[in-house]
Structure 1
């Protein structure tokens, strides 16, 4: 266990070096990935800061959140859910966004299935691709620094290209677009932590989506 003072220091360092830039970069990436106006469910929204950034860039979008944990302070309306079944009817939203959530779950494909069920037009995910030199240990280090101080569950469930393809197929989704150069880190951190380890992908129902490869 990490003492509270050590957790506080870890969180302050991460926030000052990474978090503010991350919110801005991810807000821009999501804004670019969502093709039309509409309603958005932010699955695993946390306190909703990324969602607020997204709506500032895309006032044609209305975002609400859902999470397994309700924070004391949130910047958007947030509904509590059990991590398995989203408490919404089929096709309740135009889009669902899932930002750095799937690798914290035991079964990312199951979460995608639920997201696809409630999304009419598409699902936008930001997550990791476990490929390349020391990709696994590098992702684990990033995850630990960013989340251990908040007691976030860390199963380190990173998928490779073929595993993502299988997860998308199980959810009945195909990739319509993908960006894998996001600019989350400035030099020199980007040389180690950026590479092609991160991606933002727009997924659409298979009957109307692209048949291009899932990631990369």
Structure 2
């Protein structure tokens, strides 16, 4: 896998995730010191998926987040471009589909909400994906993205980048079925923009009311936005 950058080859990224699929959830928990569970719980609260709603969980991997979001009674669909990840999550009992975030196989206005958890930084074109996501969300629907971010407090940011991230990567390599993939994942974390920059990218794709919530000192942030209602375009 080449070094992480913003011109990622989607076929290589998919192959990488196919390679780590078998032990991905375990390695992810080890790498994040168990915080991934807490981040999913908070993301589920922000998403607030309700009975009768249709939710697309994009870059869902094995569907662990999809199962979490479905607990409130909404119909939640796991979508990912790694078939290996989807196969590894078949036991979760949630509907799954193989999908490319830049060419989603859904009609316009199909979902009440779309969520992406720790996966949007792997998309080859973030803004294009946000535009495509907006296409399949109904007017007034919502976007919720949980992704790595930049701790705003300088000392914590220094410790995170210089020490903690390396330690997380080391733990991930030891607990993964494909250790080399975790070098890419660490580099992709460092290359990802900070909270405000990502919020501006979301807004540039036509989303409104963009806001974010820092988790774990800003190591991760949840961004939320709304697709403009039809009457706002009148």
- Normalising to structure 2: TM-score of the pair? 0.65
Which residue in 2 is equivalent to 1:4? none
Equivalent residues of 2:195, 2:212 under 8 A apart: no
Match of 1:73 among 73, 88, 91: 88
* Alignment RMSD: 3.4
State whether structure 2 residue 111 is matched by structure 1 residue 93.
Answer: yes
Match of 1:22 among 36, 57, 71: 36
Residue 73 and residue 165 in structure 1: after superposition, are their counterparts in 2 closer, same or farther (change >3 A)? closer
Residue 13 and residue 91 in structure 1: after superposition, are their counterparts in 2 closer, same or farther (change >3 A)? closer
* Runs of 5+ consecutive residues of structure 2 not aligned to the other structure: 2-19
1:138 CA drift (Å): 6.3
SS of 1:88's equivalent?
A: coil
SS of 1:195's equivalent?
A: helix
* Runs of 5+ consecutive residues of structure 1 not aligned to the other structure: 2-6, 182-193, 209-216
Stretches of 4+ aligned residues off by more than 4 angstroms: 7-14, 16-21, 135-140, 145-148
State whether structure 2 residue 224 is matched by structure 1 residue 202.
Answer: yes
Deviation readout 1:145-173 (Å, 9 max, x if unpaired): 58663547646141124421331122211
Which residue in 1 is equivalent to 2:149? 129
Q: In structure 2, what is the Cα distance between the partners aligned to 1:136 and 1:107? A: 24
SS of 1:89's equivalent?
A: coil
- Normalising to structure 1: TM-score of the pair? 0.70
Deviation readout 1:37-92 (Å, 9 max, x if unpaired): 21100000011012112222x12x11111111123232222211234211111111
1:52-201, aligned counterparts within 5 Å?
Answer: 52-56=67-71, 58-59=72-73, 61-70=74-83, 71=85, 72-74=87-89, 75=92, 76-120=94-138, 121-130=141-150, 131=152, 132=154, 133-134=157-158, 136=161, 141=166, 144=169, 149=176, 150=178, 151=181, 154=185, 156=188, 157-175=191-209, 177-181=211-215, 194-201=216-223
Residue 138 and residue 63 in structure 1: after superposition, are their counterparts in 2 closer, same or farther (change >3 A)? farther
Aligned positions, number: 188
More helix by share: 2
